[in-house]
């Protein structure tokens, strides 16, 4: 971990090498290194370091930041859920995760707080704080990408080392997003998150794995038994919340020679 002096020199050297205004990002939960208020005060003296996204989550430290830095230095909340207390201390706004899902609502809440319309700001905060917190049920950006996929905004694709959300946390996230009015309530027939299963068989012929959708009439997602099923030489794996997760699991099954997908996929 870098020392405070090491961080100061690092950020200062970057700022002196460019002619653009810079905003620092203090996120010790990700970096393992906290930028302390006294260090921010020194960095605020560097001409083109204009502000910080403060995501320590420590309100006592954030209060110390406001005491340490000059008034012209911009302090943004780095956590949606504490936007209002940060603004109340003198913050300039929020650099947001939830704005990917609710951009207009986050802008309205922030604008209201900056204009001292705390009734409006608190009303929006109370409505959307469960979503703000649910965005961190698993590693960011998995939940926000999952919600955007539920909204039909993007395709739910992840690159390693990120993996799709676990089925139970994804279901919780969908429930929160639905209650917030961000995601449409699913129809009765579609109330469950689509799931996928792997049928592994090494009884007859080569050791193989076949992917099935949970609604597959051929396999009845593990409740039925395909012809030739032998409990000593075949088994079901799953459920998996996403097809990509099932495919990934299939690739890591040892000894499998043939991997295929049922026509239901």
- Rounded mean pLDDT of 186-194? 55
Does the model's pTM come out above 0.75?
no
Whether residue 119 has pLDDT greater than 90: yes
pLDDT band for 223, please (50, 70, 90 cuts).
very low
* pLDDT for 89: 97
- Rounded mean pLDDT of 81-104? 98
Stronger pLDDT, 85 or 260, i.e. the higher one: 85
Share of the chain above pLDDT 90, in %: 63
- Rounded mean pLDDT of 241-260? 86
Residues linked to residue 210 through DSSP beta bridges, in sequence order: 199, 260
* pLDDT for 218: 61
Taking only the tens place, the pLDDT of each residue in 131-181 is 999 999 999 999 999 999 999 998 888 888 888 889 889 999 999 999 999
* pLDDT for 221: 45
- Rounded mean pLDDT of 227-244? 72
* pLDDT for 225: 46
Whether residue 258 has pLDDT greater than 90: no
Whether residue 232 has pLDDT greater than 80: no
* pLDDT for 54: 98
pLDDT band for 219, please (50, 70, 90 cuts).
low
The closest alpha carbon to 79, from 146, 127, 26, belongs to 26
* pLDDT for 85: 98
**For residue 261, which phi and psi values (nearest 5 degrees)?**
-130, 135
Taking only the tens place, the pLDDT of each residue in 33-90 is 999 999 999 999 999 999 999 999 999 999 999 999 999 999 999 999 999 999 999 9
Catalytically annotated residues: 25, 53
* pLDDT for 45: 97
Stronger pLDDT, 105 or 203, i.e. the higher one: 105
Whether residue 204 has pLDDT greater than 80: no
């Amino acid at each position: 971990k870098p020392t405070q002096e090491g961080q100061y020199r690092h950020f200062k050297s970057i700022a002196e090498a460019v002619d653009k205004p810079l905003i620092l990002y203090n996120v010790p939960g990700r970096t393992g290194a906290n930028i302390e208020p006294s260090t921010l005060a020194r960095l605020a003296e560097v001409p083109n370091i204009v502000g910080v996204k403060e995501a320590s989550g420590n309100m006592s430290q954030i209060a110390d930041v406001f005491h340490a830095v000059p008034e012209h230095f911009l302090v943004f909340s780095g956590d949606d859920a504490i936007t209002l207390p940060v603004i109340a201390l003198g913050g300039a706004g929020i650099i947001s995760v939830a704005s990917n899902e609710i951009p207009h609502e986050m802008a309205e809440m922030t604008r209201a707080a900056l204009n001292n319309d705390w009734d409006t700001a608190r009303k929006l905060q109370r409505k959307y704080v469960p979503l703000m917190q649910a965005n961190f049920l698993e590693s960011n950006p998995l939940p926000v990408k999952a919600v955007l996929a539920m909204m039909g905004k993007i395709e739910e694709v992840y690159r390693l080392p990120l993996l799709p959300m676990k089925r139970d946390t994804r279901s919780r996230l969908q429930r929160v997003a639905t209650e917030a009015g961000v995601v449409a309530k699913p129809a009765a027939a579609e109330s469950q998150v689509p799931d996928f299963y792997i049928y592994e068989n090494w009884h007859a012929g080569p050791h193989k794995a076949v992917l099935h959708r949970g609604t597959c009439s051929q396999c009845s997602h593990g409740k039925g038994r395909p012809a030739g099923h032998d409990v000593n030489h075949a088994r079901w794996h799953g459920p998996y919340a996403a097809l990509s997760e099932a495919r990934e699991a299939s690739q890591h099954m040892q000894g499998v020679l043939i991997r295929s997908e049922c026509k239901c996929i």
